Structure 1
Amino acid sequence: MLTIHGVTRSRASRIIWLCHEIGLEFRQVPVIQAYRLPFPDAPDAPLNTHSPAFLSLSPAGAIPVIEDDGLVLSESLAANLYLARKHGGTLAPAGLAEDAQMMQWSFYAATSIEPDALTILFLHARTRLQSGEDQALVANAAERLVRPLSVVEGHLATHPHLVGDRFTVADINMAEVLRYAQGYGELMTQFPATMAWLEGCQARPAFRKMWDARNAEPE
């Protein structure tokens, strides 16, 4: 059985969403991020990304990591592409060209969107007073995202999904990256087709199942 190392409040959410979409059973080992713990190296600390047991599996000390039939694989987007290809179905590429397109959109999400989207996620908080420095960092990140999001918008304005005009693993990978910036309305309202697509992805039962599990975990 597939094993996913990582709490759901992490990039493991992408893999868990995919598993629910394709009906793939998995075992989850709830490894938590060390930065979320006051004393991650304490002897009684919960299993975390500093724990020797986890570092023996993942020297990079980052979640998620999957184990599948002897394969140990980190990097959540790569894990999703691998699992989709392995198990097939409509979420997987139908051929070499679709495989390349799914990798293209996944890599684009990781390199051109995710860094600035994470800045927005961590610093844009409506429930607390932001410092002027944080506001400036968020505004700068949003400005840098206009160009890559315009590319996504241009595609989704004429296509229902990223690849093959159907929901695929590429949509999961991109949607989970864009979720980080979703709460910043000043940015996202500029891209109505992208927002409609994202809301449609998040209305899927498999996403809701993952999201309920995520919300059930401690913050």
Structure 2
Amino acid sequence: MLIIHGVTRSRASRIIWLCHELDLPFEQRPVIQAYRLADATAKGAPLNTRSPEFLALSPAGAIPVIEDEGLVLSESLAATLHLARKHGGPLGPADAAEDALMLQWSLYAATGIEPDALTIQMLTRPQADAGDRALIDDAISRLERPLRVVQDHLAAHGGHLVGRRFTVADLNMAEILRYAWADPRMARKWPGIAAWLAGCQNRPAFQRMWQARLAEPA
């Protein structure tokens, strides 16, 4: 059986959502991020990203990690692309061209969008000071070009990134754009993306993952 190492309040959410889309059974081993613990190395500390047994599996000390029939992968987008290719049906590539496009959009999200989207998520809070608000504004400004590309592409390709259907490319992009939507200005500025993102997140598989995420300790 597929094993997913990592709590749902991590990038493991991407893999778990995909597994629910595919009706793919998995075992989840809830490794927690070390930074969330007062002392990750203390006796009795929960299994975390600095635990020796986890570092033996993943020397990088980051979640998620999957084990799939002897294959160990430690990057969430590599895991979702692998699983979609292996099990995906309509969520996976129909041919080599679609495979390349799914990889392209996933990498575009990771390199062109995720750093600034994470800045928005991490700094958006009621007590944000002027410095934080300036950093958020800068991140929103830098996202102007990549989000214009995404919104225009969705409008021209049937509301999806690849193949005019929901695929792993949409899932990967949606999970990264979710970070940026912490600032309510984003939905107002990008209505096409907002509608597409809402459609992605209304899928039963996302809702199943999200309820499990909310049930975990913050």
Class of the TM-score when normalised by the shorter of the 2 chains: over 0.9
Matched letter for residue 210 of structure 2: W
| Alignment match, 2:180 | 181
| Alignment match, 1:193 | 192
User: Which residues in structure 2 correspond to 1:20-169 (within 5 Å)?
Assistant: 20-125=20-125, 128-159=126-157, 160-169=159-168
Q: Give how far 1:185 is off.
A: 2.0
Paired residue secondary structure (1:3): strand
Distance in 2, Cα, partners of 1:19 & 1:35: 27
Distance in 2, Cα, partners of 1:132 & 1:67: 44
Distance in 1, Cα, partners of 2:49 & 2:182: 28
Structure 2: runs of 5+ lacking an equivalent: none
Instruction: Give per-residue Cα distances to partners, 1:22-55, cap 9 Å, x unaligned.
Output: 0000000000011111111111110011111111
Paired residue secondary structure (1:157): helix
Matched letter for residue 179 of structure 2: Y
Distance in 1, Cα, partners of 2:88 & 2:13: 20
Paired residue secondary structure (1:164): coil
Matched letter for residue 173 of structure 1: N
Distance in 2, Cα, partners of 1:188 & 1:205: 22
Distance in 2, Cα, partners of 1:88 & 1:185: 33
Paired residue secondary structure (2:138): helix
Distance in 1, Cα, partners of 2:102 & 2:19: 17
| Alignment match, 1:10 | 10
Root-mean-square deviation (CA, aligned residues, Å) is: 0.8
Residue 213 of structure 1 pairs with residue 212 of structure 2: yes
Q: Give how far 1:158 is off.
A: 2.2
Q: Give how far 1:14 is off.
A: 0.2
Matched letter for residue 75 of structure 2: E
Q: Give how far 1:215 is off.
A: 0.2
Query: Would the aligned equivalents of 1:162 and 1:171 in 2 still touch at CA under 8 Å?
Result: yes
Matched letter for residue 157 of structure 1: A
Q: Give how far 1:180 is off.
A: 0.3
Q: Give how far 1:187 is off.
A: 2.9
Q: Give how far 1:12 is off.
A: 0.1
Query: Would the aligned equivalents of 1:146 and 1:187 in 2 still touch at CA under 8 Å?
Result: no
Distance in 2, Cα, partners of 1:188 & 1:40: 37
Q: Taking every aligned residue pair, what percent have the same amino acid on both sides?
A: 67
TM-score normalized by the length of structure 1: 0.97
Matched letter for residue 181 of structure 1: A
Instruction: Give per-residue Cα distances to partners, 1:39-94, cap 9 Å, x unaligned.
Output: 11111110011111111111010000000000000110010000011113100100
The runs of at least 4 consecutive aligned structure 1 residues that moved more than 6 Å come to none
Distance in 2, Cα, partners of 1:207 & 1:88: 16
Distance in 1, Cα, partners of 2:108 & 2:160: 15
